Amino acid sequence: MALQFTQWHFTLVNGISIHSMALHFSQWHFTSVNGALFHPMALYFTQWHLTSVNGTSIHSMALHFSQWHFNSLNGTSVQSMALHFGQWRFIPPNGTSIQSMAL
């Protein structure tokens, strides 16, 4: 059930590319602007920072995750039209489609 995010690139619409150096998404912390940590249960990502375990902070310059692209290493691009994380579809390189209800 674990999604290996080493196979993915996160690319903002303005062209900034962020590659996950972590082996699993569980190695990332989601930190809200008020400092709280949480385990995502299909919540809105508008107010959150993505912070890797090495301390690098990644803030979404867009206010909604609908403005992000998830690009796999095979070049497949998936863009969500939804604001809710539970409505994203993740397509790993083997072609299997995973609907994330909670990550």
This prediction's pTM: 0.21
Bridge partners of 79, per DSSP, are: 69
Predicted confidence (pLDDT) per residue in 1-48, tens digit:
233 344 344 444 344 444 433 223 443 444 444 444 443 322 233 334
Structure-token pair, residue 21: 């150096």
* Residue 37 to residue 30: CA distance in whole angstroms: 6
| Span 48-76, pLDDT tens digits | 445 444 444 444 322 234 334 444 334 44
Rounded Cα gap, residues 90 and 87, in angstroms? 10
Query: Cα separation of 95 and 88, whole Å?
Result: 15
Q: Cα 98 to the chain's mean position, in Å?
A: 14
